[in-house]
């Protein structure tokens, strides 16, 4: 593994700090925000973009999850159950990334999370928040099919666990907003470790970029949970919703471009 000590990508450090603060304070995966940057500015191939974004997100979400656990902001019991449900989807999705066009997967996921984020945005406007401090394990049974889907899309496209877990926890199971955000980040962090370990042998991670993004998100991952304590639930939901809607539009655009090329229109 060549870490490459070039400073060519130094500018990714401050960008990574800001992304990690935003993601860890509002409850969505920072990897989704790296995708457009890697695609438009760094010009990475899609598989390297996904793998490097996930490797970056792994340390950033882990940093944030540790801070939230210290702050006692995570529902550890329900988080552990959802982690166990997520991992099988991660393993399948990691293999799909190598054989199925990632832009197609992104378009499908984009349509899914656009709908979820839109519902979250409406809920924020209507002040419809979760109210429970804890969730009995048996309450997850009717939603147990969703975490594997999140794991599948996270491994295959770099997005999915937080974007699907947070709405399940808050909107479906009525967990309080801040606790739903923190628990989703713990689930994402654990899934990301599995994905990154699987990606190590594929040689897809750009470590020369990760040196700067990884360092940045570790710092941002500590700041985000601290800021979250002082942010109103409504603000957190609006930030989450707008961020995910933006990512969904980007993913749908990418998928539409791929479809047009495949069908010969471009």
DSSP 180-228: HHHHHHHHHHHHHHHHHHHHHTTT---HHHHHHHHHHHHHHHHHHHHHH
Q: Does some domain include residue 1?
A: no
pLDDT single digits (tens) 183-193: 999 999 999 99
DSSP state of 51: H
CA dihedral sign, ordered 93, 95, 100, 102: positive
Q: Does some domain include residue 7?
A: no
Q: Does some domain include residue 2?
A: no
pLDDT single digits (tens) 81-138: 999 999 999 989 878 766 777 778 778 878 888 887 888 788 788 888 888 998 898 9
Question: What crossing angle do the helices spanning 207-228 and 46-70 adopt, rounded to 10°?
Answer: 30
Q: How far is CA 46 from the centre of its chain?
A: 17
Q: Does some domain include residue 46?
A: yes
Domain containing residue 28: 12-262
Q: How many domains does the chain have?
A: 1
List the structure tokens of 171. 């909107």
Q: Does some domain include residue 22?
A: yes
List the structure tokens of 246. 């933006």
Q: Does some domain include residue 3?
A: no
Most confident segment among 55-69, 221-235, 243-257: 55-69
């Amino acid at each position: 593994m060549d870490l490459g000590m070039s400073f060519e990508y130094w500018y990714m450090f401050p960008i990574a700090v800001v992304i990690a603060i935003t993601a860890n304070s509002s409850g969505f995966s920072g990897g989704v925000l790296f995708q457009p940057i890697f695609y438009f500015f760094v010009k990475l191939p899609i598989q390297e973009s996904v793998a490097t974004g996930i490797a970056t997100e792994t340390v950033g979400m882990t940093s944030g999850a540790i801070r939230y656990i210290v702050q006692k902001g995570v529902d550890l019991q329900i988080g552990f159950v959802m982690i166990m449900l997520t991992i099988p989807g991660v393993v399948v999705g990691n293999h799909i990334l190598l054989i199925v066009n990632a832009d197609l997967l992104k378009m499908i996921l984009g349509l899914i999370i656009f709908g979820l984020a839109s519902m979250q945005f409406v809920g924020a406007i209507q002040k419809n928040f979760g109210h429970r401090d804890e969730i009995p394990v048996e309450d997850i049974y009717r939603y147990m099919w969703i975490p594997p889907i999140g794991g599948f899309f996270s491994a295959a496209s770099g997005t999915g666990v937080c974007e699907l877990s947070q709405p399940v926890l808050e909107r479906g199971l009525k967990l309080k907003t801040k606790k739903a955000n923190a628990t989703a980040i713990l689930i994402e962090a654990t899934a990301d470790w599995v994905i990154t370990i699987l990606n190590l042998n594929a040689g897809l991670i750009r470590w020369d970029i990760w040196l700067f993004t990884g360092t940045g998100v570790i710092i941002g991952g500590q700041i985000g949970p601290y800021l979250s304590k002082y942010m109103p639930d409504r603000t957190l939901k609006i930030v989450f919703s707008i961020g995910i809607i933006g990512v969904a539009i980007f993913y749908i655009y990418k998928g539409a471009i791929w479809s047009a090329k495949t069908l010969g229109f471009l």
